[in-house]
Amino acid sequence: MLETPLFGRFQNEGSRLAFLPPDIYLAMMRGTLILGVLFVLNGITFLLPMVYPAWWLMIGTLLLGAGTLAAFSLHSVVFNVKERQYRRRQGPGMFPKLSTGTFDQLDAVVLIAEPNASLVLNGVTYHLVLHWKGNAEPSMLLQSDTRSLGTGQPLNAAAYNIQQVGIKYAAALGVPFYDNAHFAGKNPVPLLKS
């Protein structure tokens, strides 16, 4: 199943740090669900007689299924910076795992670089990955950024922006930040899960 990329946001005047899907993704998911309901209702009540009602029911059911699958595949983590606690929704799946804990369980935020010429020419994808102490929880991909490098540039040449963001996140969480963007590596948290 494809996991939705997350983006970090400080909320409530910096008292919360939330890693959530983009707002446009959430809006599209809600819109798909609303359209599905409207199509099914039109198929049942047959308000628009121009098209066969079974068509409305079929398309509405498919839209409802797509919206529901999108809703169940969401994952997120919210850190309460003042209380030093987190709440993680780890999916995807029909029954995602919900976990809570304290910042004492967090190990580090690590920046890694993954060569990725399939997205952009001479591309590299930088990943911010959160690790827990003793692997108490699986590593979590917090944020990614794909950039194009010029010929002969070092792997970490375009990492400055996400590096600064990672330093800010690590400082808010009270954990060390490690910059491993100068090494070519693989994403330890695959975006596609079977």
49-89 pLDDT per residue, tens: 666 778 888 999 999 999 988 888 888 899 999 999 999 98
Helix runs in 100-173, H state only: 160-173
Q: Which two tokens stand for residue 27?
A: 């809006």
Question: Which of 12-16, 119-123, 124-128 is modeled with the greatest confidence?
Answer: 124-128
Q: What is the mean pLDDT of residues 123-127?
A: 89
State what percent of residues in the chain have pLDDT above 70: 89
State what percent of residues in the chain have pLDDT above 90: 43
Q: What is the mean pLDDT of residues 88-112?
A: 86
Q: What is the mean pLDDT of residues 146-173?
A: 90
Residue 191 pLDDT greater than 70, yes or no: no
Q: What is the mean pLDDT of residues 96-116?
A: 91
Averaged pLDDT of the chain = 86
| pLDDT-wise least confident of 21-25, 114-118, 124-128, 189-193 | 189-193
Burial of 56 (0-12, 13-18, 19+ CB in 10 A): buried
Q: What is the mean pLDDT of residues 155-181?
A: 93
Q: What is the mean pLDDT of residues 120-133?
A: 88
Amino acid at 194: S
Beta strands in the chain (DSSP E): 7-11, 16-20, 76-80, 85-90, 97-102, 106-115, 123-132, 140-148, 177-184
* Backbone torsions φ then ψ of 27, nearest 5 degrees: -65, -40
